[in-house]
């Protein structure tokens, strides 16, 4: 993992946030290559789940919305993690992370009902010493810590002006359900997709960009008729499960590294009747990558109760009114990028006793599709021909022009950032109007006519 982090900073994928001021608690900025990859993922996801489907439409809802939304959704009272603190060093931790999910699930009911004294005694038995300072028997009893980030609207910080940065994108979809049905004329079943930022005041963010306080989600709320029997929603759920696996395959992530976890009933979110977590074998362990949940009619029903507005769907043929049920596939954009980085990082021994580092990104996902490399930087004719090729390609492909260093060193740079093709312009190019095209994965080189480059470099 450290090698990936080092490469990402050195090559411009990801930088520590606020680095010149000493950083800020696991915040990260995405550099030129990182933002290209994020945009590539978002564009591909939107095509995969929206453009290629007849009954999915999009929305881009506000980050700050009426606080009553979070009362209706259950976030204001129930969106929390168990916080413990060391009395000596005052470091804070998530209790479930320190004892492990299995142990915490067994102990949770006790901590919900026991006295403060008994809870504190029990946590000391479970966590003998502080992971940070090593002092023994210093942990406080767990308390619920709400994860929503607060802000105030207006010039005065008054409780009446309290608002929250959204902890998920889903609620912006639900509160616009009627607007979208009216304007898009979609009929059930149909879905609403959204890509956007969410914010959670995590107790212990970490593992690079895996768990951060600011992150980007790609979500769909798929609305179906109220099921008369379980098989009615289960078949739709299964369709989405397969679609999510197809997306993972499209990312060229090895499915043998994916584990599907049926979340136990006692661990389900308050809105969920069934949830599957798609877990990936990250370098730091098997962790959640995506989620698929059956939310029933919880959200629309609750928003109708709290808003006093009719959010029922009216069937245009039968006239029947009902709250649609919801299947929700959720994708973390940052976790997707992290999984791709982990999957594609390779160290290879090549002829001559040399070792190379290569990012074997799918061609569509690579931040730079082709590099144009003049053989010599002090030959005006070669430079002019190289720039002509670069300018001709850059309108249709993300290109990089590089004339610094030996050709071998430039190849290695392009390998490290995952560029699928490198074009070398040499003396033969001036005479024959062709170039050498090097393939990243095989390192094989082929002469290609300049006039045929765009066709040759196609990757769709």
Tens digit of each residue's pLDDT (9 = 90 or more) over 293-308: 999 999 999 999 999 9
Given a cut of 70, whether residue 403 has pLDDT beyond it is yes
Question: Could you state, in order of their start, the residue ranges of all structural domains in the chain?
Answer: 2-64+168-342, 80-146, 368-456
Reported as a single tens digit per residue, the pLDDT across 23-65 is 998 899 999 999 999 999 999 999 999 999 999 999 999 999 9
Q: Is the pTM for the entire model greater than 0.75?
A: yes
Q: Hey, is 332 helix, strand or coil? A: strand
pLDDT more than 90, % of the chain: 77
Tell me, what's the pLDDT at 460?
62
Reported as a single tens digit per residue, the pLDDT across 360-397 is 999 999 999 999 999 998 999 999 999 999 999 998 99
Does domain 368-456 bear CATH number 3.40.50.800? yes
CATH number of 2-64+168-342: 3.30.930.10
* Summary mean pLDDT of the chain: 93
Backbone angles phi, psi at 250, to 5 degrees: -60, -30
Backbone angles phi, psi at 219, to 5 degrees: -130, 155
Given a cut of 70, whether residue 440 has pLDDT beyond it is yes
DSSP string, 280-319: EEETTEEEEEEEEEEEETHHHHHHHHHH-S---EE-TTT-
Residue 168 · residue 197 · CB < 8 Å: no
Tell me, what's the pLDDT at 434?
96
The domain defined by 80-146 folds into Herpes Virus-1 (3.30.40)
Reported as a single tens digit per residue, the pLDDT across 105-160 is 888 888 888 888 888 889 988 998 998 899 988 999 888 877 889 999 988 888 88
DSSP string, 38-84: HHHHHHHHHIIIIIT-SSEEE----SB--THHHHHHTHHHH-EEEEE
DSSP 26: T
Distance CA 282, CA 42 (A): 21
Helices vs. strands in the chain: H and E counts, helices first? 16, 23
């Amino acid at each position: 993992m450290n090698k990936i982090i080092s490469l990402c900073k050195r090559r411009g994928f990801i930088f520590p946030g606020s680095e010149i001021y000493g950083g800020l608690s696991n915040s990260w900025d995405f550099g030129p290559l990182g933002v290209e990859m994020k945009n590539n993922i978002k564009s591909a996801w939107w095509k995969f789940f929206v453009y290629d489907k007849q009954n999915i439409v999009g929305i881009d809802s506000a980050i700050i919305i009426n606080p009553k939304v979070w009362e209706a959704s259950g976030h204001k009272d129930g969106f929390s993690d168990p916080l413990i603190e060391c009395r000596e060093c005052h470091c804070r931790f998530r209790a479930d992370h320190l004892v492990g999910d299995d142990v915490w699930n067994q102990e949770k009911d006790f901590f919900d009902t026991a006295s403060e004294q008994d809870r504190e005694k029990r946590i000391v038995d479970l966590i003998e010493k502080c992971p940070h300072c090593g002092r023994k028997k210093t942990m406080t009893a767990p308390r619920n810590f709400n994860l929503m980030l607060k802000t105030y609207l207006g010039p005065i910080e008054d409780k009446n002006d309290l608002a929250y940065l959204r902890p998920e994108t889903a609620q912006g979809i639900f509160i616009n359900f009627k607007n979208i049905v009216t304007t898009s004329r979609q009929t059930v079943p149909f879905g609403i997709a959204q890509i956007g930022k969410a914010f959670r005041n995590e107790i212990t963010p970490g593992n690079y960009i895996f768990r951060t306080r600011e992150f980007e989600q790609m979500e769909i709320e798929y609305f179906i008729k109220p099921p008369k029997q379980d098989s009615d929603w289960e078949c739709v759920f299964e369709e989405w499960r397969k679609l999510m696996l197809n997306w993972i395959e499209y990312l060229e992530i090895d499915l043998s590294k994916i584990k599907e976890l049926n979340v136990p009933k006692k661990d389900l979110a308050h809105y969920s009747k069934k949830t599957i977590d798609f877990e990936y074998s990250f370098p730091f362990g098997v962790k959640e990558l995506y989620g698929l949940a059956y939310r029933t009619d919880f959200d629309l029903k609750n928003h109708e109760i709290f808003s006093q507005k009719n959010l029922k769907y009216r069937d245009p043929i039968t006239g029947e009114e009902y709250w649609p049920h919801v299947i929700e596939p959720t994708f973390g954009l940052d976790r997707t990028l992290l999984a791709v980085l982990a999957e594609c990082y390779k160290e290879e021994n090549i002829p001559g006793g040399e070792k190379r580092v290569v990012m074997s990104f799918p061609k569509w996902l690579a931040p730079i599709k082709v590099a144009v490399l003049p053989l010599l930087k002090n030959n005006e004719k070669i430079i002019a021909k190289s720039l002509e090729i670069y300018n001709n390609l850059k309108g249709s492909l993300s290109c990089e022009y590089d004339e610094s260093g030996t050709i071998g060193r430039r190849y290695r740079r392009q390998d490290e950032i995952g560029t699928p093709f490198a074009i070398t312009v040499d003396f033969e190019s001036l005479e024959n109007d062709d170039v050498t095209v090097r393939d990243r994965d095989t390192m094989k080189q082929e002469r290609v006519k300049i006039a045929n480059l765009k066709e040759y470099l196609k990757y769709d």
